[in-house]
Amino acid sequence: MDAMTLLHERSSMGKLAAPAPDRDQLDALYRAALRAPDHDALTPWRFIEFSGEGLDRLGELYAKAEQRLNPHIDDGHLDAARKKPKRAPMIIAVIAKVTPDHPKVPRIEQLLSAGCAAHGILLAAQAQGLGAMWRTGHYAFDPTVREGLGLAEDDELVGFLYLGQMGGRHKPLPERDPSDFVERWS
């Protein structure tokens, strides 16, 4: 796939099947992430890769988060939370590792770099014929989940990237006209 086609046609895939990306594919995903624009070369990101029992452990964290939000939650809802990570054979959590009060690089720039790293992973997934979807949901901001994943106070969980083999077809791309979004000063 040529670069412009990839950039114009990237699309999320919610239906994801086993197997998870293999080591070579993952290496290519991370290399794409590491080419994110990065002011002052802070590399303000880290990644946690979940597969197999790791997905169960993440599900347990989700259930713990729900229980803290609602101590009377019923087993059905707890189970639903536990199963959420099982929607894919692999999840990569992208975490912005923020250096607070940096003299040159404000927080927003560090968050944007980590977001670009996540986008790099999505693009590299599609380039390799894999399916991918960026999710957050309330869990990305939940204190129990943040603590369980070892986030420092200034860090942000930018997203959970669900990855796997394409389990369906991409939905049609929306028709968008660039001129609706562009103002020209010339």
Ligand X SMILES: Cc1cc2nc3c(=O)[nH]c(=O)nc-3n(C[C@H](O)[C@H](O)[C@H](O)COP(=O)(O)O)c2cc1C
Is 39 marked as a binding-site residue?
Answer: yes
Closest CA to 102 of 110, 113, 92, 94: 110
Q: Which residues are within 8 A (CB) of 8 and not within 5 positions of it... i.e. 6 or more apart?
A: none
**The one among 136, 141, 143, 168 contacting ligand X by CB under 6 A:** 136
Name the minimum Å distance from CB 161 to ligand X: 9
To ligand X, the closest distance from the beta carbon of 118 in angstroms equals 8
Sites for ligand X among residues 147-186 (CB under 6 A): 159
* Cβ nearer to ligand X, comparing 46 with 135: 135
CB of 152 to ligand X, least distance (A): 20
- Report in angstroms how near the CB of residue 106 gets to ligand X at its nearest: 19
Q: Are 79 and 86 in contact (CB under 8 A)?
A: no
Contact 131, 16 (CB under 8 A): yes
Please pick, from the candidates 112, 133, 145, 149, the single residue that binds ligand X as defined by CB under 6 A: 133
Q: Which is nearer to ligand X, 40 or 134 (CB)?
A: 134
Nearer of residues 70 and 136 to ligand X, judged by Cβ: 136
Residue 35 assigned to a binding site? yes
> Residues forming the annotated binding site?
10-12, 35, 39, 134-136
Binding residues for ligand X, rule: CB under 6 A, are 11-12, 133-137, 159
